Amino acid sequence: MDRIKRPFINLPYRKRRDAFIRWRWRILLDTPIYGGLFTSQLRLDEQDYSSDWFDFLFVGSDGQTVWNAFIITARAAFLDADRFELPINTEIHECFKINRSFPNEVGLDIVVDEPFIDRKVIENAILHFRTLGEVDWTNPIPVPKDHLLAGSGVQLGNASLGKVGIFWFVQWQGRIRLLSASCPIAEGELYGDMITYGTGHYTTWNRWRKSKIAPFERGIANAFEYEEWPRGRVSYCQNTRRFLLLCDGKIMREDLLSRIRGAFELPEEQVTVDGDPHYQSVENFA
C-alpha cells in the first residue's frame, strides 16, 4: 500500500530545511537564467504579451519554506472567468493565495495587474510577498476594468459578431469533442493586420492541466499532449473584414467546421477556411 504523503508544512523541520537548502542552491546555480530570486522548469519569454502566466519556485525568508508559485496576469484571470461563463461583473483582485496541501513545497497562487509576465514582474511579486510577511493577501481594490479589457488598437469596422481563438477536436469516450478558448474581437490582440487570440495552444493546454473550474478540459489536457489531436485557430483580418480559420486538414469536413462556426459565432459568408501544416497531429478520428 502506498504511503500517503503529508503536506510539506507537516514535515519535520530537518526535512523542510533540507529542501530549503537544496532549492536555494538550485536558484543560485540558475542565477544567469532567472536572476537569483527564483528558478523554474519553464522558459521565460521576456516582453512577450502572450506570456500571461508562469510557474516558478523560490525560498521563504524563514529558512525552511519552499514556495511552488503560479503567477497569472489579472487580464488572463478575467478572460478565464469569461471563458467559463462566470458572472459578467466578475471582479479580479491582485492577490497571494497560499495552498498548504502540497507534499513537496507550499503552493502559492499570485494574480498581478501587469500586461504580461517577465522576470521583473516575478521578482517584484516575490519582494512584495516577503514585505507582507509571506501570508495570504487580497488587494481590497479590484483591478480596473480597462486593464482587464486592455485596448490593443483594434479597429472593428462593422464587425460586431464573431470571436477569435484557438480550438481542438479530441475523440473522448466515443465522441468527437470540441475544446476551445476564445474572446470577442474587441479583446483580441493585433498581429500585423490580423486580430488574434493572445494565448497560444501550448499555454492554454498547460493552464487547463491546473484548472480548478474546468474538470473536463483538465482531464483531457492531463491525458494527452497539446499537439496530439487536430487543432486550429480563428483570426480576424481588418483589411478584408473576414475571419480566417486555419486548421489541421483532418478538421476540414463540414460537420466539424459547422461546430467551429457555431462555437465562435462566425457568419458563414465571412469565413475563409484553409489548412495549415503547422497544426498537423498524430491522432485520427475513428
Range of the domain at 231: 163-279
Q: Say what the pTM is.
A: 0.56
Does one domain contain both 239 and 112?
A: no
Do residue 200 and residue 253 come from a single domain? yes
Give the amino acid at 237. Answer: C
Which residues on adjacent β-strands are paired with residue 244?
235, 272
φ, ψ for residue 51, nearest 5 deg: -90, 80
- What are the tens digits of pLDDT across the range 79-118? 766 544 444 456 889 999 999 988 889 999 999 999 889 9
DSSP string, 91-142: ----EEEEETT-SSSEEEEEEE--SS--HHHHHHHHHHHHHTTS--EE-SSP
User: For residue 5, is pLDDT > 60?
Assistant: yes
Looking at the structure, tell me whether residues 117 and 70 fall in a common domain.
yes
pLDDT in tens, 44-55: 765 444 578 888
Residue 1 banded pLDDT, cuts 50, 70, 90: very low
| Residue 30 falls inside a structural domain | yes
pLDDT in tens, 22-45: 999 999 999 999 999 999 988 776
SS3 73: strand
Residue 285 within a domain = no
Query: Residue 80's pLDDT is what?
Result: 66
| Surface-to-core class of residue 76, CB atoms within 10 Å of its CB (0-12 exposed, 13-18 middle, 19+ buried) | buried
The pLDDT assigned to 87 comes to 46
pLDDT tens readout for residues 118-167? 999 999 999 999 999 999 999 999 998 777 765 444 444 444 578 999 99
Residue 274 lies in a domain: yes
User: Is residue 100 domain-shared with residue 176, that is, in the same domain?
Assistant: no
Hey, what amino acid is at 6?
A: R
Residue 57: predicted pLDDT:
96
CA distance 218 to 206: 9
Domain final residue pick, 148, 183, 205: 148
Residues 174 and 130 reside in one and the same domain: no
Same domain for 143 and 170: no
- Number of domains composing the chain: 2
Residue 45 has a pLDDT of 61
* Residue 67 or residue 241, greater confidence: 67
- Given a cut of 60, is residue 2 above it in pLDDT? no
* Domain annotation covers residue 3: no
pLDDT in tens, 195-235: 999 889 999 999 888 877 677 788 899 999 999 999 999 99
Judgement on whether residues 186 and 121 belong to the same structural domain of the protein:
no
pLDDT at 63 (0 to 100): 95
**What pLDDT is stored for residue 149 in this prediction?**
64
Q: Is residue 104 part of a domain?
A: yes
pLDDT of residue 278: 87
Per-residue confidence (pLDDT) for residue 179, from 0 to 100 = 92
Say which residue, 4 or 143, is predicted with more confidence: 143
Q: Under DSSP, is residue 1 helix (H, G, I), strand (E, B) or coil?
A: coil
Domain boundary pick from 148, 177, 211: 148
Domain assignment present for 24: yes
